Amino acid sequence: MSNTPSDSVRVRFAPSPTGYLHIGGARTVLFNWLVARRAGGTFILRIEDTDQTRHVEDSVAKILDDLRWLGLQWDEGPEVEGPYGPYYQSRRLDIYERYLQQILQSGHAYYALETPEQLQAMRESAKRDKRNITYVRPNPVPTIAEGLAAKAKGHPVVVRLKMPDRDITVVDDILGDVTVAADQLEDFVIQKSDGFPTYHFACVVDDELMKITHVLRAQEHLMNTPKHIALQWALGFQTPHYGHMPLIFNVDGTKMSKREKEKAIAKGLPPPEIDVHDFRAAGYLPEAVLNFIALLGWSAGDDQEFYTMDELARRFSIDRIGKTNAKFDREKLLSFNTTWAAKLPPERLLAAFKDYMRVNDCPAKLLARAAPSSIPPYQAGTEGGLPDDATLSRILHACAGFRTFADVIKKAGFLFVPDEAIEFDPKAMAKVLEKNNGEGYRMLELILPRLEAQSDWSASALDALIESFCKEQNVGLGAVAQPLRVALTGSTISPAIGLSLELQGRDRARSRIRRCIANSRG
């Protein structure tokens, strides 16, 4: 790690509250968090909410919830006491105003009085002359008195930084030196006409006052950094270490943007996972997501792929971040998730599954299509319609090898709904129950009395009963197990048939079989 301009490493993640946390933002959080943890430093969360036009209600709560799900706790920030708060920019306006006055008084900034129409005329003139569309500084610049007078009259007055007449070099810990020529830099707005600071100004002031030593962010911010350095020069601030990480693209080279979701929904297609919440709701494990995104642009230099957070914190370093853009391979993420689901201790997997159920409002979501019923969704050991922890653990064990928790629901969701909610798949009925003149229905009718008389409702006893029945009927296991499976679930998918019967419970299992048989009789 590079030498730091202060004794302690202090990094930050500074999202705008515009919705759930994007997966690219999650990687930025992770890399900053790892830098802080390896150095024994401090990770700060700062909410950049000065752009009132982009603020989305409840976004902050969503971002905090996403970070907690990932397990990336901040050391200073919202809900956490710290010496450099407040950590919402909208609550720091008086601080920005002080530094704005300082930079105006020093002559490094000035009030700009152009109307929107005049600015548009500048752009059109540059376009006609085939020049770069840049703001042209007035000569002379308006005085402070002229700016205040214009503001008093209600004119749309902004404040612009007077850019230095020299090249600016960004010393980047990832990309190396990046120099932007003076003629490519224009005076930019640091206070908007509504009185709010722009992102650039607030960001630079906060980084100084919060003693940020390293700014690690995506390459799309690289062109902002010369502006920030110019502001630091004008204000007499330190320049932190900068590192601009490679961008994340889909495998096909397209950008992972929220517009993808909007386009998919407009076309009636399943939207791709883009935000952290999408992956959470789709049934991914935070351990798998973190492990996967850690490898998007970073490598320890060996063949290791699976890392715990402790291992990542020990091995992570900025100098191992690459310069080329990363590809988000969803199939590889699925593979990671499958491996992590098999690796995690049972108690951790259970906690993650219960979180998935809560996020997806299960079983209420599964009951949405069901008619009102006096039969509760699940009988034994329930709380709020869910099985007890022991039963949920058995369900997870029965579905071992699943890729995401959505697979568990697909395989064992029948356990969480009342009988009336079971919808029989016509293809399953035709293939399993109706073929050969209703052979499947006949098997159900023959085995039902055996099940009615069965006292031991354990999976092993039920498997033994079914095996004995198959021998008596001189049929294979599938000839009996599959009709039972369709009767219980409405489909051909479930855990092992004996365990499915046990988990369903004696009364409800037999009730479903009777209902299925009755269905055949119209």
Q: Which residues are catalytic?
A: 258
The single-letter code of the amino acid at 230 is A
Q: In whole angstroms, what is the distance from residue 184 CA to residue 222 CA?
A: 14
Nearest to 192 by CA among 32, 29, 52: 52
Contact (CB, 8 A) for 228 and 200: yes
Q: Is 4 exposed, middle or buried (0-12, 13-18, 19+ CB in 10 A)?
A: middle
The single-letter code of the amino acid at 268 is G
Q: In whole angstroms, what is the distance from residue 322 CA to residue 328 CA?
A: 15
- Which single residue is written with the structure tokens 């004794």? 7
3-state helix, strand, coil in the chain (%, to 5): 50, 10, 40
Strand partners, 110: 160
Residue 338, phi then psi, degrees to nearest 5: -60, -45
DSSP summary character for residue 341: H
Contact (CB, 8 A) for 188 and 109: no
Q: In whole angstroms, what is the distance from residue 190 CA to residue 161 CA?
A: 6
DSSP character string of 45-90: E-B----TTT--TTHHHHHHHHHHHHT---SBBTTB--TT---BGG
CA trace torsion 49, 265, 426, 399 (10° rounding)? -40
SS3 431: helix
The 3-class SS string of 437-491 reads HHHHHHHHHHHHHHHHHCCCCCHHHHHHHHHHHHHHHCCCHHHHHHHHHHHHHCC
Q: In whole angstroms, what is the distance from residue 486 CA to residue 432 CA?
A: 8
What size, in residues, is the chain? 522
Q: In whole angstroms, what is the distance from residue 3 CA to residue 348 CA?
A: 39
Nearest to 316 by CA among 42, 74, 34: 34
**From start to end of 181-335, where are the E strands?**
189-191, 214-218, 241-245, 248-250, 326-328
The single-letter code of the amino acid at 346 is P
